[in-house]
Structure 1
Amino acid sequence: MTQSPAIPSSTRRRVFYAAIGIVALGIACTAIQLTANLSYDDALLNFESLTEDAEHSHSALVNEISTFDAAIDSADSITVSASTHLMDASLKEELVVVLRDAESTTAQLTAVTEQQIPQAVAKQEWAWELFDATAQLNADRETATRLIASFDSASNDAASAVSALEDAGSAALTSAATAAEAFESEHVSARNPDIVALRVAAQQVLDAADTLDSTASAAYSDLENAAVQMLASEHAELFEKAGPLNDSRIEVEAFARSLAPGLLLDFDWSPLVNDFGYGDSMGGYATWWFDGPGYANIELSNSVAEYWPSDRSEALVAHEVGHAISVRCDGMHDDSSQDNIEDWATAWAISMGYLSASNGTSTYGAPPQELIDAAAGCR
């Protein structure tokens, strides 16, 4: 029987230790691989959280810039259409200066939005590749942090610029809207519908003045157009009144307006009104509308101006204003018949102290005292 040679004990120990080393190396490699995976996963989680924040900051900036651009467009439209009719010149110039600053700022802010938010590095297979990818994620995370700060800072700048524009725009718009009342007083000969349109447009500007957008600029454009239309209609009215009786006609109209301050009155002049106006006769006719603030049109014969100033002319005009002021005193008298309507106008003229028979009594008779007393309460 042949016996196998014995393996020396020293050799057996070396084989054992080599096996242990291989196992240890395998464990170490596995640990390194696991560590690399875990490090990458942790870095990726932190990176994605930051990039999500960066995306939100970027979206917020884009929205702010959109609002900013709208404010710039509105301000530009307002400054282009602004005239000397209504808007305060110094406030308009201040808006122009702020607008120029805004226009130079918007390009800088837009450039900030063009910065790219980094994308995650794809997960690799081997440990050394994972460590490199993790390092890149950490570096990109720092980039994302800087981008968030940049986006947020730009958003704040955009919001501040919008606020500055809106402050300047609001002041300019408000000045124009509030100037409409004085403008109306300076152009009383403009036609009533045009005056009403100016009032409506002025209120719309006041309602929209706090936010500088297309609504505000459109409202202001309407206001400017209303002012232009008022000037045009006033010019047409004054042209119609021109002639030898012009000064007297203007005085008669001013007198009528003084009887009912603030009441919107239009006037038309003709040789003959209600079949009166020839010789020493005088004629008048009033039409009134309850819409909106209420307004009226008074037609007068040229003879009213020819005999101005006279008690007869004043009394007849007072009678017609008595009709017109019905828009303020609706329900204070019975207007179910023409006779009642005429009695009211006559009573109102008497209540104002105009006692000439031209106040209506010569044509319609004397009204009852209780109606005169009631008319005295209509001012």
Structure 2
Amino acid sequence: MTESPAPPGSARRTIVIRLAVTVAVIGILFGAVQLTANLLYDDARRAFDSLATDAETSRSSLVEAVDELHEVSKAGESVTATASVWLMDAEAKQNLATAVDDAAPVVEQMTSTAGETAPTAATKPGWAWELFGATAQLNADSSTTVRLIDDYRSAGQDAAAATSVLQEAGTAAVTSATESAEQFEADHISARNPDIVAFRAATQRLTRSSDDFSAEASTAYLDMEQAAAAMLTSEHAELMEKSGPLNSARDEVETFARSLAPGLLLDFDWAPLVNGFGDADSMGGYASWWYGDPGYANIELSNSVAERWPSERSRALVAHEVGHAISVRCEGAYDDSSQDKVEDWATAWAISMGYLNRANGTSTYGTPPQELIDAAAACR
């Protein structure tokens, strides 16, 4: 039995159908590959983007930690370079210097780590073969980013630890200085009042900032050191000014005056004549005072006060001048609208302290009323 050949048109239709099926299959396969490539890329990109965000956050935290470490380290360098033997405890200063030295390589290493940047993703390609390559790169970059995140966080912890050590050492160092301030002032009582006031103000600023050792504490400590140096300079000038044969008696007079009003800031000046008195058998005194927080005063005395020390006349005159000076503690306690009333107050104050010699002011200004003496007795 023989088969008759297919019509020519039928063969062509078969070929076309087969080609169409093949193209359809290829299209389906390509579409599946393209879809798979897109899905794999999108998953990899989401994972990478999340890691990139974490990396940027961790790096920002590291930069902040390094900046803080650098600031505290600079503050420590400044303090140790400035610290004198007057105020800061030697051991505390050495501990701070050691902490500064130990922090230096940490700052360098952490700065280097913070300088490393995470990879960035390129624009998403279109074709499957490009997507597969880009996905592989994203996965590799993700691994790199994970390592960087660990490095950033570890470095940040190291920087924070070094900062903590520095701050502890810095706080201990400057605190030792503030704790020595009272004794330093007591040891240099002849320093001029404005320098003492500046020293106290710097000490207070340092005390307020010492718990958080940083640039602010460093600046306050520098101010404190400068004020201490100024105190030493003015003290030296004062001691030289009153040196000579009457030096011992002058010291006793000044000690006596300060004992009448403990804690009151008093400066003293000495001269042959004060307020027109001091020659022959006379003695002269003059007081100036400044209200404030704290207030302070300056007392000028003639050399004859020291020459006659410790006579009752000398003591009474000095008590009168301290009566003027102590006005800074009792502002508004008396009528100071005229010089006569001001002198009455000083005389009343000397009397209230028990100094009854007429050199207390009564020889020149008369006896003040009892009510003023009573008011003065409340001013101490």
TM-score (norm 2): 0.93
**Mapped partners of 1:83, 1:329: distance in 2:** 38
The residue that corresponds to 1:32 in the other structure is: 33
The residue that corresponds to 2:366 in the other structure is: 365
The residue that corresponds to 2:344 in the other structure is: 343
The residue that corresponds to 1:248 in the other structure is: 249
**Higher mean C-alpha displacement, 209-218 vs 300-309:** 209-218
Query: Which amino acid in the other structure matches residue 91 of structure 1?
Result: A
| Aligned-partner SS, 1:123 | coil
The residue that corresponds to 1:310 in the other structure is: 311
| Aligned-partner SS, 1:254 | helix
The answer to whether residue 162 in structure 2 is matched with residue 188 in structure 1 is no
CA contact (8 A) 1:346 1:367 kept: yes
Query: Which amino acid in the other structure matches residue 63 of structure 2?
Result: V
**Mapped partners of 2:6, 2:102: distance in 1:** 99
**Mapped partners of 1:201, 1:5: distance in 2:** 114
Deviation, 1:157, is 1.8
**Mapped partners of 2:280, 2:325: distance in 1:** 27
| Aligned-partner SS, 2:58 | helix
Deviation, 1:177, is 2.3
The answer to whether residue 209 in structure 2 is matched with residue 208 in structure 1 is yes
**Higher mean C-alpha displacement, 252-261 vs 12-21:** 12-21
CA contact (8 A) 2:345 2:368 kept: yes
Flag structure 2 segments of 5+ consecutive residues without an equivalent. Answer: none
CA contact (8 A) 2:289 2:328 kept: yes
**Mapped partners of 1:44, 1:117: distance in 2:** 14
CA contact (8 A) 2:282 2:304 kept: yes
| Aligned-partner SS, 2:287 | strand
The answer to whether residue 254 in structure 2 is matched with residue 217 in structure 1 is no
Flag structure 1 segments of 5+ consecutive residues without an equivalent. Answer: none
Deviation, 1:110, is 1.1
**Mapped partners of 2:365, 2:124: distance in 1:** 103
The residue that corresponds to 1:23 in the other structure is: 24
State, as a whole percentage, how many aligned pairs show the same letter: 60
The residue that corresponds to 1:353 in the other structure is: 354
Query: Which amino acid in the other structure matches residue 228 of structure 2?
Result: A
| Aligned-partner SS, 1:285 | strand
| Aligned-partner SS, 2:300 | strand
Alignment of 1:280-299 (within 5 A): 280-299=281-300
The residue that corresponds to 1:165 in the other structure is: 166
Query: Which amino acid in the other structure matches residue 346 of structure 1?
Result: T
- Count of residues paired in the alignment: 377
TM-score (norm 1): 0.94
**Mapped partners of 2:136, 2:25: distance in 1:** 27
CA contact (8 A) 1:266 1:298 kept: yes
Deviation, 1:154, is 1.4
**Mapped partners of 1:11, 1:289: distance in 2:** 120
**Mapped partners of 1:123, 1:269: distance in 2:** 90
| Aligned-partner SS, 1:267 | strand
Deviation, 1:17, is 6.3
**Mapped partners of 1:276, 1:6: distance in 2:** 151
CA-based RMSD of the aligned residues comes to 2.2
The residue that corresponds to 1:89 in the other structure is: 90
CA contact (8 A) 2:352 2:374 kept: yes
Q: Deviations over 1:217-237 (max 9, x none)?
A: 222111111100100000000
